[in-house]
Each structure stands twice: as structure tokens, then as C-alpha cells.
């Protein structure tokens, strides 16, 4: 297995567009810390930063990252943009714009050697509607329409990204089984986010056992269920050991199944990242 993380726990999400040089330097320093400071093998870059802040994270920035990749010899994975996008949108204009945004992001990081490309195949609006609709003929009609739009997007994205390296991420909803026939049809891989599965009641080990042959990347973070006033919410992206996921059992299952691909520790703070690294030091 190859372990890594994103630059988010170290450099954060907040960007100051009036200080592009400082923002770029902060990300470069974060990559150095991930590889040299923590001894991790993989850096996952979020291309939402490049698409939302194109004057900061431009082609020259990713060229600098490519030079750093040669110097430090780390594996790079890319999280394709997903904020405000929806590749399964029933609004065809939005769907097409989402694919175009992903294509532009792909071209932006052309200098890099990339192992995996992580894709959110549907967006927050699709998630919200699917959660609101109970099992019914209407819901099945909606999900079938979503699948048709998702397939259009996959076919277009496959024109520039090899499906063997394209990993569709498990999201909070709907149940991922609904999209599995589509992924198998197009030979697309899976990014298993075990924190997101917590939104659906867990089952990460069962999911792993059923789909191990097609999982090329795992997002590892803890999560817990909170209830207040009868409302159930999930808090995720926690440090390992701070939630309810049996991550030790999960790691042992990965070893037993012979998993050899990427595991990304997906935390939001440096303290949580360091705690997660300490919790998996026996596996790194």
C-alpha cells in the first residue's frame, strides 16, 4: 500500500487571491512536509483550487509541482473538481459545463505524472434529491435519468482520461450499488471513501469484499453519528480513532485481501492528520 494525504490539513482551503506567490509557496511547502516531514508516498491535489483560483494555481504552479515531483519522487493523485459541478445533472447545460470544467482541470496539470483521477460523478443537488425521494416509481425514474446523464459524462471524460485510472468516489448518497453496472460497463474504477459510507450506515468491509478488484484508491478518515432533537447527522473527516469506524479491522482486511494501491488520509487539520498517521504507523 501507498499512503498519502492532501495539502488541505497543512495549507487549508482558504486562499488569499491578492497574495498569489505566498499561496503557491504555502502549497509547495505543504507538499514537502507531506513527503519529507511525514514520510508519505502520495500527494493528492484538489483541482477545485485550480479552477476557483486560476490566477493563483495556474499552469506555472503545476509545472513547479512537477519539478518537485521529480526531486522528491512522490506519487501524485488528482481529485478532479466537484464544487458547484454535477456530471449527472438533468440540466444538460450544467452537465456539459461540469465535463468541460473537468477537461480544463485535466489540461492544467499536464506536466504532472498522475496515477489516479478521483471523480465525483454526481453533485450535491443530485444527492439532496435522491435523499428526499422515497422508494417509488418516481424515484426509480429519477435515478434512471441520473444514470443516463452520468453515462454521457463518463463517455466524454474517458476521451481524455484512461478509465483504468479514473476512480469514481463513493458519496454520502445514494447507495453506490445503483451506479456499479455503469462503472463495470465502462471499465471505470472505484475510490472507496469509508467516511462517506457512514452516511449510509457503514458497511465499509462488506463493500471492500464485494468490490476489491475495482478499488484503486481509498479515502480514509473517521466519522461518528450525532443525534439532536431527533435529527441524525454525520461528522466525518475526523482523525482515526475519533469516530466510530473500526479502522483497525478495515486495515487488517485490506492486508488480507492483498490491497496494494493508494490510501489517502483525508483530514482537515494538521493535528488530525498527525494523529491519523500515528494510528496507522504499523501499516505505513
Residue 50 lies in a domain: yes
With a cut of 80, say whether residue 173 has pLDDT above it. no
Per the prediction, the chain carries an average pLDDT of: 93
Name the residue among 199, 224, 197, 222 with its Cα closest to residue 208: 197
Residue 284 lies in a domain: no
State the pLDDT at residue 284.
62
State the pLDDT at residue 79.
98
Q: Quick one: average pLDDT of 149-172?
A: 96
Tens digits of residue pLDDT in 215-227: 999 999 998 877 7
Burial of 224 (0-12, 13-18, 19+ CB in 10 A): middle
Q: Quick one: average pLDDT of 129-143?
A: 77
Residue 268 lies in a domain: yes
Q: Quick one: average pLDDT of 4-8?
A: 98
Alpha carbon distance 73, 115 (integer Å): 13
Residue 168 lies in a domain: yes
pLDDT band, very low/low/confident/very high, at 163 (cuts 50, 70, 90): very high
pLDDT band, very low/low/confident/very high, at 5 (cuts 50, 70, 90): very high
DSSP class per residue in 40-91? -SEEEEETHHHHH-TTTS-HHHHHHHHHHHHHHT-EEEEE---TT--TT-SS
Burial of 246 (0-12, 13-18, 19+ CB in 10 A): middle
Alpha carbon distance 115, 166 (integer Å): 9
Reading the block at residue 283, the C-alpha cell is 501499516
State the pLDDT at residue 54.
96
With a cut of 80, say whether residue 167 has pLDDT above it. yes
Residue 240 lies in a domain: yes
Name the least confident of 20-34, 85-99, 172-186, 247-261.
Answer: 172-186
Structural domain total, the chain = 1
Q: Quick one: average pLDDT of 179-192?
A: 96
State the pLDDT at residue 221.
94
Which residue in the block uniquely carries the three cell numbers 450525532? 226
Residue 169 lies in a domain: yes
Residue 150 lies in a domain: yes
What's the pTM? Answer: 0.93
Q: CATH number of the domain that 230 lies in?
A: 3.20.20.150
Q: Which domain holds residue 92?
A: 2-279
Alpha carbon distance 23, 71 (integer Å): 21
Number of neighbours of residue 201 by Cβ within 10 angstroms: 8
Q: Can you tell me whether residue 150 is helix, strand or coil?
A: helix
Name the least confident of 51-55, 133-137, 216-220.
Answer: 133-137
State the pLDDT at residue 3.
97
Amino acid at each position: 500500500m501507498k499512503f498519502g494525504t492532501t495539502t488541505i490539513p497543512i495549507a487549508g482551503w482558504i486562499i488569499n487571491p491578492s497574495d498569489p506567490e505566498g499561496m503557491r509557496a504555502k502549497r509547495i511547502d505543504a507538499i514537502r512536509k507531506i513527503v519529507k516531514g511525514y514520510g508519505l508516498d502520495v500527494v493528492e491535489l484538489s483541482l477545485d483550487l485550480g479552477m476557483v483560483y486560476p490566477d493563483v494555481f495556474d499552469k506555472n504552479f503545476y509545472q513547479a509541482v512537477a519539478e518537485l515531483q521529480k526531486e522528491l519522487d512522490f506519487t501524485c493523485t488528482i481529485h478532479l473538481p466537484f464544487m458547484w459541478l454535477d456530471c449527472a445533472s438533468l440540466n444538460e447545460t450544467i452537465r456539459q459545463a461540469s465535463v468541460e470544467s473537468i477537461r480544463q482541470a485535466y489540461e492544467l496539470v499536464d506536466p504532472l505524472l498522475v496515477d489516479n483521477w478521483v471523480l465525483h460523478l454526481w453533485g450535491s443537488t443530485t444527492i439532496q434529491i435522491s435523499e428526499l425521494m422515497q422508494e417509488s416509481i418516481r424515484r426509480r425514474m429519477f435515478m434512471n435519468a441520473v444514470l443516463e446523464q452520468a453515462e454521457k459524462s463518463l463517455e466524454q471524460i474517458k476521451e481524455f482520461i484512461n478509465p483504468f485510472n479514473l476512480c469514481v468516489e463513493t458519496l454520502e448518497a445514494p447507495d453506490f450499488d445503483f451506479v456499479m453496472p455503469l462503472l463495470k460497463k465502462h471499465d471505470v474504477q472505484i475510490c472507496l471513501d469509508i467516511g462517506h459510507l457512514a452516511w449510509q450506515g457503514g458497511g465499509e468491509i462488506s463493500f471492500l469484499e464485494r468490490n476489491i478488484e475495482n478499488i484503486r484508491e481509498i479515502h480514509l478518515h473517521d466519522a461518528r453519528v450525532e443525534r439532536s432533537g431527533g435529527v441524525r447527522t454525520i461528522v466525518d473527516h475526523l482523525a482515526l480513532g475519533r469516530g466510530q469506524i473500526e479502522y483497525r479491522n478495515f486495515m487488517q482486511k485490506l492486508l488480507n485481501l492483498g490491497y496494494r494501491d493508494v490510501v489517502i488520509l483525508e483530514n482537515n487539520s494538521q493535528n488530525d492528520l498527525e494523529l491519523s498517521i500515528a494510528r496507522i504507523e504499523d501499516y505505513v
